[in-house]
Structure 1
């Protein structure tokens, strides 16, 4: 993370709570908290400010780095496009990360997670609680690896894809962009863009309707 010991947090829901906890354990202060719907913020959050979507002309883009504390991949993608700001990272102290791993800005790594040698983690990625990313895997921007998911070695996961809780992806599989891999799914072969996959073995059941919203 940057040397600045302050971070601004965008998002005031449950996901943001966990990021706040990680940051505080690492000695960081949350200087400001923003949300697109402050009235619907979690009860534990106070003094939540309006987000950039409703204050585009006078939003304070510059200043302390942001972390986008929003679990939904598409929403995180949209917010990151609008914010003209620097971004920080949040990595839990209990995470096991090989020194060879690269982790880009905006990414969060939660408690008990493991990222093995030569893995590459993109921007605004969520590596959730107790998940595992093995050697030489590439996790592209805005991906969410849910709790207890296992990503084996040499896997490539495309932008915006969501890997559900407890899912398993075997070695050398390529998963396309903006896919949804259901909880507990076992992925045994390559998955094309915008696929929704469930089951063991994983089967494509439909296309992700987000295809109509993104051009990434």
Structure 2
């Protein structure tokens, strides 16, 4: 018997995660909660059940696993709030790895990671809690990634990079090997980072 799973959030990010889940076929997906989406809305055959207010009743009914399907682009506050809410209810927040992702055998993943289609994570990489490693991104050997980090589609983090918490790497950006990227950093789409980046910085273009 498959474990029952609820998804929290019905936006665009939910569709990508849900497609991965349907390919994996590892859980019984009971539905989705979202405060802004009408009850009964169909997302790839899975229904929106109501707002997040119904989550305690779902947990009491036997749904013990959840995944937060609200993403983040430079601001993790809502995602963090939903994680706290779900964990306080008692849900186990599960990691989801798309079957087309490639992970080295010694990759270490924290709680509730999402690893998207064709993402590649190489040897001796550590990913923190609640991270999104999105479609086609590459994280090379020896990288250390903090909590609530979002690596957007097509981004490349070359080897031995250290990344703090709540940082965002925009679409198709690249980060040179051996650098340190601080907490709450935003790297703009298409940027190339050639130097260390301090906490709270937003960097775009060729960063040197």
Aligned to 1:37: 36
Structure 1 residues 59, 177: CA separation in 2 closer, same or farther (over 3 Å shift)?
Answer: farther
Distance, in Å, in 2 between the alignment partners of 1:108 and 1:191 is: 25
Aligned to 2:68: 68
3-state SS, counterpart of residue 47 of structure 1: strand
Q: How does 1:99-178 map to 2 (within 5 A)?
A: 99-178=105-184
Spell out, residue by residue over 1:145-203, the C-alpha distance to the aligned partner (whole angstroms, 9 max, x if none): 0000000111111111110011001111111111111001111111111111101136x
**1:46 CA displacement:** 3.0
**1:29 CA displacement:** 2.6
3-state SS, counterpart of residue 32 of structure 1: strand
User: Which of the numbers 78, 81, 84 marks the counterpart of 2:84?
Assistant: 81
Spell out, residue by residue over 1:80-118, the C-alpha distance to the aligned partner (whole angstroms, 9 max, x if none): 122222111110111110010011221100111100001
Aligned to 1:11: 9
Structure 2 runs not aligned, ≥5 long:
none
Contact 2:41 2:48 (C-alpha < 8 Å) held by counterparts:
no
Runs (4+) of structure 1 moved beyond 4 Å? 40-43, 58-62
Structure 1 runs not aligned, ≥5 long:
203-216
Contact 2:169 2:186 (C-alpha < 8 Å) held by counterparts:
yes
Distance, in Å, in 1 between the alignment partners of 2:78 and 2:67 is: 13
Structure 1 residues 189, 42: CA separation in 2 closer, same or farther (over 3 Å shift)?
Answer: farther
Distance, in Å, in 1 between the alignment partners of 2:35 and 2:174 is: 34
Distance, in Å, in 1 between the alignment partners of 2:134 and 2:47 is: 25
User: Which of the numbers 159, 182, 200 marks the counterpart of 1:194?
Assistant: 200
Q: How many corresponding residue pairs?
A: 197
Give the TM-score of the pair, scaled to structure 2: 0.86
Give the TM-score of the pair, scaled to structure 1: 0.83
Q: CA RMSD in A?
A: 2.2
